[in-house]
Structure 1
Amino acid sequence: MTGSESAGDAHEQGREHGEVQGEVRAGEGGQGSGGEGAEARVSSYDVVISGASLAGSAAAVLLARQGARVALLERRSDPEAYKVLCTHSITANARPVLDELGLVPALEKAGALRNDARWYTRWGWIEPRAAAGGSALPYGYNVRRSTLDPMLRARAAETPGVDLLLGHKVTGVVRDDGGRVAGVRVSAPDGTREIRARLVVGADGKDSAVAGFAGVPTRRHENTRFGYLAHFRDLPLRGGIGQTWFLEPDMAYAFPNDDGITVLAVLPDKKRLPAFREDLEGSFLAFVRGLPEAPPVDSAERVSKIIGTVDHPLISRRPTAPGLALIGDAALTGDPLWGVGCGWALQTAHWLARAVGPAAAGRGDLDRSLARYARRHRTLRGHQRLAADFAKARPFNPGESLMFAAAARDEAMARHMYLFAARLIGPLRFLNPLALTKAVAVNLRHRARRRA
């Protein structure tokens, strides 16, 4: 059994701190790792993407297929690098992107699991199932990032038109005379480099350096839960599927992944943080043992440290500016408890490529194309507003109680909730008048049966 790791010690692999923001004008020189006074080398592409994780690699593939010449930058030098602190779950909304990338056969061969789910509530378990005689529920995949990230990055590297540039850290943006973003300045293993492009894409996470260098404001929503997770081998789960516990206000989830590994996470109210800090391992295991239908954690093998974060605000930024687009966590993050980050990363990359592909390759109006992407991206705002409100670590409000109770009591309502949790429908469809009316009817029938 491995040791534990306190909050704040776990980072994305290779994360660096203390960057100094910078900006240069197109054509200006400057100092870099090539030596004092060294002139930066200049190269040109149609698109330069900072960040070769899920969003960046997917966008690179999809844009290059439309004829764009893409520089895909990754500050880490290891092509096998991956994000460590993650739910390792791809929601069903991103399944079409995986299909278009051609990754589904490779994922299933690597052992990725279709992410069926059941959710505990005080009204009982919500267990979505396909309707009798109906089609199967849509699904995504649970797969460890150590499997997924290198696979997608390799797909990008082998795509004609994509240059994967490892060990390239963005140190500033380049602007043209009109102030439009026109490229980036990078520190590379062999010196300073300037890469100019029609479009700069920030796919570099919630602490996006590209967004900071470009002066894109960040809005933060407080999350009053903290989170720790660990990986276990041979941890049986009921039905062999993912489990989520809504304990009001505490949360937990267990997601089975490839190679017999289950990701087990706890997300308590921050009021419990002092006790967790005194004994992280003991508190983590005690929390899990106390879950309804708790997974038998003591009989499983823990194969990772207990890692986590005590401060995970939800952030949002405008997804576009002249010459600039943000995708994945660089534009918007959700609460980890919902497991939507990977899905949104792939989905926003897909939206961007569809909106700007021809223009990025020089066959259209880029500004109009970016405006189309921004309009499409706005559909995520409602999802984030609900998540940000629930991140206040409170019990269910009356509307949530109505819907969750009905979903625990009625299969059709459970399927409706599943579509929302999979991000296949938005808040307006989830809470439409017909759904609310049906939820009221389900709960009234339940009360009548109990009185009888």
Structure 2
Amino acid sequence: MSYRIAIAGAGIGGLASAALLAREGHAVTLFERFAAPRPLGSGLVVQPVGLAVLDRIGAGEETRRLSSPIARMLGHEARGRKVLDVSYPAAAPGRGIHRATLFGLLWDRVAALGLPVVTGAEIAAAPPDGAGRRLALADGRDFGPFDLVVDASGAGSRLSPLRARPLGYGAIWGTVPWPETDFPRDQLRQRYRAASRMAGVLPIGCLPGDPTPRAAVFWSMPLAELDRWPQTPVADWRAQVAVLWPQMAPFLETIRDHAQMTPARYSHGTLRRPFAPGLVHIGDAAHRASPQLGQGANMALLDAFALAHALRRPLAEALPDYAAMRRWHVRIYQAMSAAFTPMYQSGSRSLPWLRDLVLAPLSTLPLLRRGLTHLVAGTMIPPLSGTRDP
């Protein structure tokens, strides 16, 4: 079966959907609000489940080449006590990668397929048109009809009915050259002051055409402080980080301007029904959470794969099938994110105590260690119910 499909949004989920659906024989048109498609953000971790989808798209090998293998996630509280230690299986590490690198790899796959791309397309609405939908743009342009509109337009989607709950903490993210340091290049490392501050260093490999190894650095803080960040002298902020974690100071030496760090605000929520006639939501348009579990891009990749798999059936059956395939994986990870995030990003005094003195010792038990490994790898349960993929 072949459908006329419009994809709203050229982020990770939108590009993955475009590539997968075109390979299935559908007539795909991609719509992007920027004049030239571009990524937003810094580093991310491609988990084994996400890498399996990239392999299906044909971008897996380049992802492995340009990313850093992440063998371990390690976190310490301010006095140096280890409170988080999660290892990946040797044969299936996470992959730290710059968002721009992953975007470029997916964009190359879409370009190779010759798909039409409409840029400068700010989506205003997707009104019904017979059995399908049209796309109405904010500048008055109108496209369609399409058998299906895929809403991959992210947390700011105008097509999604999701009203997510804003979280009280955000972060600033930046990308820096890897300095002279004894930090391992295969570990995501974090440092916490209770749950009110978190500093982190993520190896993210290199950019295409530039062999310089890089790291993503991040600093979590309450929203009120994030709002004041542009007025905070950068040198004062670097000194604040160094007090919490002196070993991170070399990573911050090249940061001289606020523009080198990107603010991020987070929200939490899930659509109970991520589809309507002729319209389906994927990625952040369907479910949003903090990045604490490192699943955001992977969830979008899995959504894209599930949708392409479901659309092998008649449309009336395909959209409920897509929702059913992803329902329990999304729900469990949303619940885990809601439970774990306040232990690392909140003003609570009791939750960091529980994290450090109860959960950290328990996590050394073999059964719980395996559970944490499956949690971060995205494999607590099969990511696509009823299939053996990806």
Q: Which segment drifts farther, 120-129 or 343-352?
A: 120-129
* TM alignment of 1:203-218, pairs within 5 A: 203-211=152-160, 216=161, 218=162
Aligned to 1:54: 12
Q: Number of aligned pairs?
A: 360
* TM alignment of 1:219-234, pairs within 5 A: 219-234=163-178
Which SS does the other structure have where 2:288 is aligned? Answer: coil
Structure (1/2) with the larger strand percentage? 2
- Distance in 1, matches of 2:368 and 2:236, equals 35
* TM alignment of 1:347-366, pairs within 5 A: 347-356=302-311, 358-359=312-313, 364=314, 366=315
Aligned to 1:378: 327
Aligned to 2:249: 296
Deviation of 1:278 (Å): 5.1
- Distance in 1, matches of 2:59 and 2:358, equals 39
Aligned to 1:185: 136
Unpaired runs of 5+ in structure 1? 1-43, 428-452
Deviation of 1:107 (Å): 2.5
* TM alignment of 1:2-401, pairs within 5 A: 46-79=4-37, 81-83=38-40, 85-109=41-65, 111-122=66-77, 123-124=81-82, 126-129=84-87, 136-159=90-113, 162-176=115-129, 182-186=133-137, 192-211=141-160, 216=161, 218-235=162-179, 236=181, 238-240=183-185, 241-249=187-195, 250-257=197-204, 258=206, 259-270=212-223, 279-292=232-245, 294-297=247-250, 300-302=253-255, 305-309=259-263, 311-317=265-271, 318-356=273-311, 358-359=312-313, 364=314, 366-379=315-328, 380-392=330-342, 393=346, 394=348, 395-396=351-352, 398=354
1:303/1:159 Cα in 2 relative to 1: closer, same or farther (>3 Å)? farther
Deviation of 1:237 (Å): 5.7
1:389/1:125 Cα in 2 relative to 1: closer, same or farther (>3 Å)? closer
1:149/1:275 Cα in 2 relative to 1: closer, same or farther (>3 Å)? closer
- Distance in 2, matches of 1:45 and 1:355, equals 12
Q: Which structure would you say has the larger Rg?
A: 1
1:192/1:220 Cα in 2 relative to 1: closer, same or farther (>3 Å)? closer
1:299/1:144 Cα in 2 relative to 1: closer, same or farther (>3 Å)? closer
Contact 1:45 / 1:196 at 8 angstroms: preserved in 2? no
Which SS does the other structure have where 2:62 is aligned? Answer: helix
Superposed CA offset, 1:412-435 (max 9, x none) = 6434312212222159xxxxxxxx
Contact 1:118 / 1:125 at 8 angstroms: preserved in 2? no
Deviation of 1:196 (Å): 1.4
Deviation of 1:149 (Å): 1.1
Superposed CA offset, 1:354-377 (max 9, x none) = 112x24xxxx2x122111111222
Deviation of 1:200 (Å): 0.7
- Distance in 1, matches of 2:31 and 2:99, equals 19
Contact 1:94 / 1:140 at 8 angstroms: preserved in 2? no
Deviation of 1:128 (Å): 3.9
Deviation of 1:163 (Å): 2.2
Letter in 1 for 2:319: L
Contact 1:91 / 1:140 at 8 angstroms: preserved in 2? yes
Deviation of 1:302 (Å): 3.2
- Distance in 2, matches of 1:126 and 1:102, equals 34
Unpaired runs of 5+ in structure 2? 207-211, 383-390
- Distance in 2, matches of 1:176 and 1:274, equals 43
Superposed CA offset, 1:93-137 (max 9, x none) = 21110111111222244x21122333224551544446xxxx625
Letter in 2 for 1:74: E
- Distance in 2, matches of 1:246 and 1:420, equals 21
Deviation of 1:70 (Å): 0.7
Superposed CA offset, 1:146-192 (max 9, x none) = 222122122112226x3223333323213135xx652212368xx82
Which SS does the other structure have where 2:53 is aligned? Answer: helix
Contact 2:83 / 2:360 at 8 angstroms: preserved in 1? no
- Distance in 1, matches of 2:280 and 2:183, equals 42
- Distance in 2, matches of 1:65 and 1:339, equals 28
Contact 2:178 / 2:251 at 8 angstroms: preserved in 1? no
- Distance in 2, matches of 1:303 and 1:352, equals 43
Contact 1:285 / 1:297 at 8 angstroms: preserved in 2? no
